[in-house]
Amino acid sequence: MTLLRAFLIRFVTTIVTLFGVAVIVFVVIRVVPGNPIAMMLPPGATDADIARLEEQYGFDKSIFEQFLIWLGGVMQGNFGTSISLRQPVSDLVLGRLPATLELSIVALFIAVAIGGALALTGTRYRDTKTEGAVDVTAGMALSIPDFLWGLILILLFGVLWPVFHISGRISPSLNIDFSTNFYLFEALVRLRFDVIADLIGHMFMPALALAIPLAAIIAQLLKQSLKETMHLDYVTLARTKGYGENYVITREALPNAVLPTLTLVGVQFTFLIGGTVIIERLFSYEGLGNMAIDAVINRDLPLIQGIVILFALLFTLVNLFVDMLYVILNPRLRHA
Partner 1 sequence: MRDARGEVRRPIGLRLWLSGGWLTLLVLGALLAPWVAPKDPLMQDLFLGRMPPFWVAGTEPGYWLGTDSLGRDVLSRILYGTRLALIVALVAGTLTCLIGATLGLIAGYYRGWPDRIISRFVDIWMAFPPVLFAILLIAVLGPGLVSIIIAIVVIDWTRFARVVRAEAMSQGAMDYVASAQVAGRTRFGTMLTEILPNVLPTIVALLTLEMGIAVIVEAILSFVNLSISTDSPTWGGMIAEGRTSVHQAWWVLVFPLITLFLTVLSFSQLGEGLKDRFDPVLR
Residues that bind partner 1 (CB under 8 A): 13, 16-18, 20-21, 24-25, 28-29, 31-33, 127, 131-132, 135, 139-140, 142-145, 147-148, 151-152, 154-155, 158-159, 166, 224, 227-228, 270, 273-278, 281-282, 289, 292-293, 296-297, 299, 304, 307-308, 311-312, 315-316
Least distance (Å) between residue 196 CB and partner 1 = 27
Q: Considering beta carbons, is residue 10 or 52 the nearer one to partner 1?
A: 10
Q: Considering beta carbons, is residue 18 or 200 the nearer one to partner 1?
A: 18
Smallest CA-to-CA distance from 298 within 85, 97, 18, 155 is with 85
Amino acid at 16: V
Least distance (Å) between residue 194 CB and partner 1 = 25
Residues 293, 284: Cα–Cα separation, whole Å: 11
Q: Considering beta carbons, is residue 90 or 220 the nearer one to partner 1?
A: 220
Least distance (Å) between residue 48 CB and partner 1 = 28
Q: Considering beta carbons, is residue 3 or 140 the nearer one to partner 1?
A: 140
Residues 268, 271: Cα–Cα separation, whole Å: 5
Q: Considering beta carbons, is residue 94 or 142 the nearer one to partner 1?
A: 142
Contact residues for 308 (Cβ-Cβ < 8 A; gap 6+): 21, 25, 292
Q: Considering beta carbons, is residue 248 or 307 the nearer one to partner 1?
A: 307
- DSSP secondary-structure letter at 253? I
Element (H, E) at 20: helix 2-30
Least distance (Å) between residue 227 CB and partner 1 = 7
Least distance (Å) between residue 108 CB and partner 1 = 16
Residues 88, 251: Cα–Cα separation, whole Å: 51
318 in Cβ contact with 270 (< 8 Å): yes
Least distance (Å) between residue 316 CB and partner 1 = 6
Least distance (Å) between residue 28 CB and partner 1 = 6
Q: Considering beta carbons, is residue 82 or 195 the nearer one to partner 1?
A: 82
Least distance (Å) between residue 164 CB and partner 1 = 13
Q: Considering beta carbons, is residue 8 or 24 the nearer one to partner 1?
A: 24
The angle subtended at Cα 104 by Cα 132 and Cα 18, nearest 5°, is 115
Amino acid at 312: A
**Cβ neighbourhood burial of 9 (10 Å; 0-12, 13-18, 19+):** exposed
Handedness of CA 119, 120, 126, 131 (dihedral sign): negative
Distances (CA, A) of 114 to 57, 217, 258, 332: 48, 11, 15, 29
Q: Considering beta carbons, is residue 187 or 280 the nearer one to partner 1?
A: 280
Distances (CA, A) of 251 to 121, 229, 233, 258: 15, 12, 15, 12
Least distance (Å) between residue 154 CB and partner 1 = 7
Smallest CA-to-CA distance from 59 within 31, 21, 100 is with 31
Helix axis angle, 89-124 to 129-143, nearest 10°: 160
β-strand partners of 88: 81
